[in-house]
Amino acid sequence: MLYRKYRPQTFAQVVGQEHVVKTLKGALSTGRIGHAYLFTGPRGTGKTTLARIFAKALNCKKIKNGEPCNECDSCLGVNQGNLLDLIEVDAASQTGVENIRELTDSTTVAAPSGGYKIFIIDEVHMLSKSAFNALLKTLEEPPSHVIFVLATTEPHKILPTVLSRVQRFDFRRLTPGQIFIKLKEVAKSEKINVEDEGLKAIAVSSDGALRDAEVSLSKFRSHQDKITVDDVNDALGLVPFKYYPEFMGYLVANDKVSALKFIQRIHDSGVDLEHFTKDFIEYIRKVMMLKINPAVLTTVGEEPVQNWQVDGVKLIKMINIFTLARNEIKTSPVVQLPLELAVLELLQP
């Protein structure tokens, strides 16, 4: 998979988490290393990747300016996944107290290299309460050679007593622009002939997760012809951006007939109406934000949002009506019916 092939191997290659990288490199340069870290944030934003780079830098024999060399035995061991100093635990499958007791027992054994022994616990929020309690004592007073890096997408599920013993770093969703630049580099390296608009569509659809975007791009590796934005939309089941302003135009003009024909047309073309409605609500929200303050939000992904001549009260009504319609699509016997009823309710005299 492309996300594994192009996984960053140095801090400099990490995209979009400069605030975390700066702090970790500062700790490495000054020698002020904490004993436990918590990396939290949305999926696919680089938590595990940065944990591995940090682990690599901690035992690197030729570290320079906080960057691992990727040449010494320790660095190569991390890259190949066979370094005994680095223990990775998937808490989603090893949730029990017995698993954690085995881990804490191994902390008393020195690292084979004589350096740091690093434990990366992924999806740490999946641990049972008893497992968390078994981990507490070691987190509070770990041996000097042991460092823990906990990673999670749901920090609110972690016990407060654990949160108080770690240095927390919040990872951000990547912007469509940051993801687009990375995808363009990968596509060029892999000789994937895809137009920029197609890459932008993938970037916007990934919801800030670079890994998801790289997985989507992997689907086009076998294509020989030029890949257009329509090819991308069809292959990934995405809704073309042009549909949102078109539908909005019918609603603003109180054109019931065209709005209903539009719903039937996109349904017949295979568009997921629940997905369309979700993104259309986001489009209306952006229109409302633009009306409140033109300097705040002017794009959906990379596309400009039109300043529609519609009052704020109607925009709020549209959001409420289509939110209800989206919830009803899941259980409706006729999938397009909730959207059609929403249009009739909104545009009734």
Element (H, E) at 346: helix 337-346
Q: Is the pLDDT of residue 1 over 80?
A: no
Element (H, E) at 35: none
Element (H, E) at 147: strand 146-152
3 state SS of 7: coil
Q: Is the pLDDT of residue 304 over 70?
A: no
Q: Is the pLDDT of residue 320 over 90?
A: yes
* Cα distance between residue 157 and residue 4, in whole Å: 28
DSSP, res 136? H
Q: What is the pTM of this model?
A: 0.78
Phi-psi sector, 4: left (phi>0), alpha (psi -120 to 50), beta: alpha
Contact 39/51 with Cβ under 8 angstroms? yes
User: Average pLDDT, stretch 247-265?
Assistant: 92
Contact 169/38 with Cβ under 8 angstroms? yes
pLDDT in tens, 173-197: 998 888 999 999 999 988 888 888 8
Please report, for the chain, the start and end positions of each structural domain, with discontinuous segments joined by +.
2-170, 176-236, 243-346
User: Average pLDDT, stretch 241-256?
Assistant: 90
Give the whole-number percent of the chain exceeding pLDDT 90: 24
**Entry field: residues in the chain:** 349
Note the pLDDT of residue 339. 94
Virtual torsion, Cα 215, 75, 11, 203, nearest 10 deg: 0
Note the pLDDT of residue 171. 93
Q: Is the pLDDT of residue 298 over 60?
A: no
3 state SS of 245: helix
Least confident of 99-103, 167-171, 325-329, 345-349: 99-103
User: Average pLDDT, stretch 85-104?
Assistant: 80
Q: Is the pLDDT of residue 107 over 70?
A: yes
Note the pLDDT of residue 322. 94
Contact 21/57 with Cβ under 8 angstroms? no
Q: What CATH number has the domain spanning 176-236?
A: 1.10.8
Q: Is the pLDDT of residue 337 over 90?
A: yes
Note the pLDDT of residue 89. 85
Residue that the structure tokens 């635990």 belong to? 89
Class of domain 243-346: mainly alpha
* Cα distance between residue 254 and residue 224, in whole Å: 45
Element (H, E) at 42: none
Q: What CATH number has the domain spanning 2-170?
A: 3.40.50.300
User: Average pLDDT, stretch 261-274?
Assistant: 90
Element (H, E) at 87: strand 86-90
Note the pLDDT of residue 300. 47
CA 313 to chain centre: 33
Element (H, E) at 304: strand 303-304
Note the pLDDT of residue 277. 92
